[in-house]
């Protein structure tokens, strides 16, 4: 196996590629990938009816995709420490495009499921490697703007996916959803010409560690979707073996030094909480709009979509704010917006659908601010040699937070069956306000530790 010899790139003269063009094309690719994640959800009822499936079987089109996407993101992030990003991206896009062609012509559920899983394997490359590329090759003075553009493209994909998916499924059929993702093939010539060339040297890749990590994460995600205590028991055993293996292997798949980094762990928690809240909103809003206000699926998409567009528009401002003032004010802004959104959802979500629309604007901008600044902060506090693994783990925790948010939201709805909608959603969002407070407290500890380190450095310099 090969690994990359990379030096830190901290000024314009060392940037070996046209970053504006790369970020633009990568953002368009990210948009297609994220839309592929969300637009297929609205086609599930049609697929279920066409193949005469049970709901639990059809749900594997979503859960199987999510599990593979999470594992692929972490794997490609780790592989980027050994293999050039350009080569990994080509592999990912080819997997994504080939699976899209197979899915378009699939006439059997197992073939359809296989196509979705292979799609997820390729999509993980696009999602994970974009932030790693920005962290390695774009100077700190412009990195925030680049990461904000990528995050904004993802936010737009989350909002546009259900709308476009509903229209395509209704007028053309679910097969044509694969045609949209197949457009990623068109980006290959641009990436081949624009991506930087990286130098290689020999190294090793921990295959067994990757397999053990994949099995452990899969078990955890399966438990979150099934709440099977048998699965939980097996998962705990796998995690125990995995943890011992990390400390035994000389160059493990997941470096234990990262997991022992307390500052990095705090960022993982804050980022996880942001995805918890965002995906809880995306799960609860359609239910609120359908059950309380009687909105159709298309109308639900139209209510959610403006929030995604607003996040894209403000994403440029967020990026410039990061580049000018640093990550910390943006993280604080994101948490304040989440506080406003949870309180508004708690007391106003059942009053009018227009209040849901405006409240989600606060939440979507807060989510973009935190997700962008968190990734940028990780690239700031860690050496370049650890960025690939660090961002891979960060994005794995994003999936954990997203899955946990949907699961907890479903449970809170179930235990409150029979109550008035106003009380149900007030209780849920008051609970979620404590998640925001906990994340804010964790951020306070993080800032205090950073200031302590800075004072120690200042004293050392004076001496």
Q: How do residues 258-270 score in pLDDT, each as one tens digit?
A: 888 888 999 999 9
CA 345 to centroid of chain Cα atoms: 23
pLDDT for 10: 41
pLDDT digits (tens, 9 = 90+) for 393-413: 887 788 778 777 877 888 888
Q: Which two tokens stand for residue 295?
A: 């909105």
User: Which residue carries 């090759």 as its tokens?
Assistant: 137
Residue 361 Rama label (left phi>0; alpha psi -120 to 50; beta)? alpha
Radius of gyration of the chain (CA): 22
User: Which residue carries 């293999």 as its tokens?
Assistant: 83
Please choose, from the candidates 36, 44, 32, the residue with its C-alpha nearest in 3D space to the C-alpha of residue 66. 36
pLDDT for 118: 93
Q: Within a 10 A sphere around the Cβ of 427, how many other Cβ atoms?
A: 15
Mean pLDDT over 128-141 rounds to 80
pLDDT for 78: 78
Mean pLDDT over 92-108 rounds to 91
Cα–Cα distance between 366 and 347 in angstroms, integer? 19
pLDDT for 202: 62
Cα–Cα distance between 385 and 68 in angstroms, integer? 25
The H or E element that residue 291 is part of is helix 262-291
Mean pLDDT over 164-170 rounds to 81
Q: Where are the domains of the chain?
A: 16-196, 207-252, 261-463
Residue 392 near residue 78 (C-beta atoms within 8 A)? yes
Q: What percent of the chain has pLDDT over 90?
A: 19
Query: What does the DSSP 8-state code read for residue 297?
Result: H
Q: Within a 10 A sphere around the Cβ of 104, how many other Cβ atoms?
A: 17
pLDDT for 5: 42
Mean pLDDT over 93-117 rounds to 90
Q: Which two tokens stand for residue 396?
A: 């794995």
pLDDT for 319: 82
Taking the CA atoms of residue 143, residue 144, residue 148 and residue 151 in that order, the dihedral angle to the nearest 10 degrees is 70
pLDDT for 442: 92
pLDDT for 225: 64
Whole-model pTM?
0.78
Rounded to 10°, the helix 262-291/384-415 angle is 40
CA 107 to centroid of chain Cα atoms: 30
Cα–Cα distance between 200 and 392 in angstroms, integer? 21
pLDDT digits (tens, 9 = 90+) for 340-388: 999 999 998 888 999 999 999 889 889 988 988 888 888 888 887 777 7
Residue 201 near residue 5 (C-beta atoms within 8 A)? yes
Cα–Cα distance between 374 and 394 in angstroms, integer? 9
Burial letters for 88-100: b for 16+ Cβ neighbours within 10 Å, e otherwise?
bbbbbbebbbbbb
Please choose, from the candidates 133, 181, 149, the residue with its C-alpha nearest in 3D space to the C-alpha of residue 37. 181
Q: What percent of the chain has pLDDT over 70?
A: 90
Query: What does the DSSP 8-state code read for residue 251?
Result: S
pLDDT for 57: 66
26-30, 202-206, 355-359: segment of lowest average pLDDT: 202-206
Q: Which two tokens stand for residue 153?
A: 């493209």
CATH-assigned architecture of domain 261-463: Up-down Bundle (1.20)
- N-terminal to C-terminal alpha carbon distance within the chain: 46
pLDDT for 102: 92
pLDDT for 56: 58
Please choose, from the candidates 143, 191, 165, 145, the residue with its C-alpha nearest in 3D space to the C-alpha of residue 29. 191
Most confident of 29-43, 135-149, 188-202, 429-443: 429-443
User: How would residue 274 be classed by pLDDT, with cut points 50, 70 and 90?
Assistant: very high
pLDDT for 460: 62
Rounded to 10°, the helix 109-137/60-79 angle is 30
Q: 222 vs 111, 295, 407, CA distance in Å?
A: 21, 32, 11
pLDDT for 8: 40
Question: Comparing 125 with 143, which gets the higher pLDDT?
Answer: 125
Q: Which two tokens stand for residue 95?
A: 């997997």
Burial of 59 (0-12, 13-18, 19+ CB in 10 A): middle
Q: Do domains 16-196 and 261-463 have the same CATH topology?
A: yes
User: Which residue carries 């993101």 as its tokens?
Assistant: 73
- Per-residue pLDDT at 82 exceeds 70: yes
User: How would residue 439 be classed by pLDDT, with cut points 50, 70 and 90?
Assistant: very high
pLDDT for 435: 92
Residue 173 Rama label (left phi>0; alpha psi -120 to 50; beta)? left
Residue 181 near residue 165 (C-beta atoms within 8 A)? no
Could you tell me the fold of the domain covering 16-196? Growth Hormone; Chain: A; (1.20.1250)
Mean pLDDT over 239-248 rounds to 88
pLDDT digits (tens, 9 = 90+) for 326-345: 888 999 999 999 999 999 99
pLDDT for 297: 67
- CA-based max dimension of the chain: 75
Q: Which contacts qualify for 354-362: CB closer than 8 Å, 24 or more apart? A: 356/285, 356/288, 356/289, 356/303, 357/303, 357/304, 357/306, 357/307, 360/281, 360/285, 360/303, 360/304, 360/306, 360/307, 361/306, 361/307, 361/310, 361/311, 362/337, 362/338
Mean pLDDT over 52-79 rounds to 74
- Per-residue pLDDT at 166 exceeds 60: yes
CA 199 to centroid of chain Cα atoms: 29
Cα–Cα distance between 167 and 318 in angstroms, integer? 31
Q: Within a 10 A sphere around the Cβ of 46, how many other Cβ atoms?
A: 14
34-38, 57-61, 104-108, 451-455: segment of lowest average pLDDT: 57-61
User: How would residue 49 be classed by pLDDT, with cut points 50, 70 and 90?
Assistant: confident
């Amino acid at each position: 196996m090969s690994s990359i010899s990379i030096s830190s790139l901290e000024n314009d003269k060392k940037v070996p590629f046209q970053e504006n063009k790369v970020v633009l094309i990568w953002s368009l690719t990210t948009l297609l990938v994220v839309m592929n994640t969300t637009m297929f959800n609205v086609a599930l009822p049609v697929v279920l009816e066409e193949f005469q499936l049970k709901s639990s079987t059809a749900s594997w089109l979503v859960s199987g995709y999510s599990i593979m996407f999470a594992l692929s993101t972490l794997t490609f992030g780790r592989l980027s420490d050994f293999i050039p990003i350009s080569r990994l991206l080509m592999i990912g896009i080819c997997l994504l495009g080939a699976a899209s062609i197979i899915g378009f012509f699939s006439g059997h559920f197992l073939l359809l499921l296989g196509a979705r899983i292979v799609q997820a394997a390729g999509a993980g490359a696009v999602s994970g490697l974009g932030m790693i590329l920005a962290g390695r090759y774009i100077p700190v003075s412009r990195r925030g703007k680049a990461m904000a553009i990528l995050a904004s493209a993802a936010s737009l994909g989350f909002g546009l996916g259900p709308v476009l998916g509903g229209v395509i499924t209704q007028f053309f059929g679910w097969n044509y959803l694969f045609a949209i993702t197949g457009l990623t093939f068109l980006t290959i010539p641009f990436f081949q010409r624009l991506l930087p060339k990286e130098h290689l040297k020999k190294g090793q890749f921990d295959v067994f560690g990757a397999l053990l990590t994949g099995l452990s994460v899969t078990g955890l995600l399966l438990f979150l979707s099934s709440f099977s205590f048998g699965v939980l028991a097996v998962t705990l055993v796998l995690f125990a073996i995995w943890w011992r293996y990390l400390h035994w292997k000389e160059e493990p798949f997941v470096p234990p030094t990262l997991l022992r980094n307390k500052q990095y762990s705090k960022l993982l928690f804050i980022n996880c909480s942001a995805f918890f809240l965002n995906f809880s909103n995306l799960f609860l809003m359609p239910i609120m709009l359908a059950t309380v206000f009687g909105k159709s699926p298309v109308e639900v998409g139209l209510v959610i979509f403006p929030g995604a567009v607003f996040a894209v528009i403000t994403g440029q401002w967020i990026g410039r704010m990061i580049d000018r003032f640093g990550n910390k004010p943006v993280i604080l802004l994101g948490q304040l917006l989440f506080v406003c959104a949870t309180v508004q959802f708690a007391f106003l979500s059942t009053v009018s659908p227009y209040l849901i629309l405006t409240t989600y604007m606060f939440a979507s901008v807060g989510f973009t601010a935190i997700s962008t600044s968190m990734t940028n902060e990780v690239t700031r506090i860690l050496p370049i040699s650890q960025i690939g693994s660090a961002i891979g783990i960060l994005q794995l925790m994003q999936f954990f937070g997203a899955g946990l948010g949907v699961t907890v939201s479903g449970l809170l709805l179930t235990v409150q069956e029979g109550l008035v909608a106003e009380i149900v959603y007030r209780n849920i969002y008051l609970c979620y306000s404590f998640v925001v407070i906990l994340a804010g407290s964790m951020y306070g500890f993080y800032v205090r530790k950073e200031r302590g380190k800075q004072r120690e450095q200042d004293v050392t310099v004076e001496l």
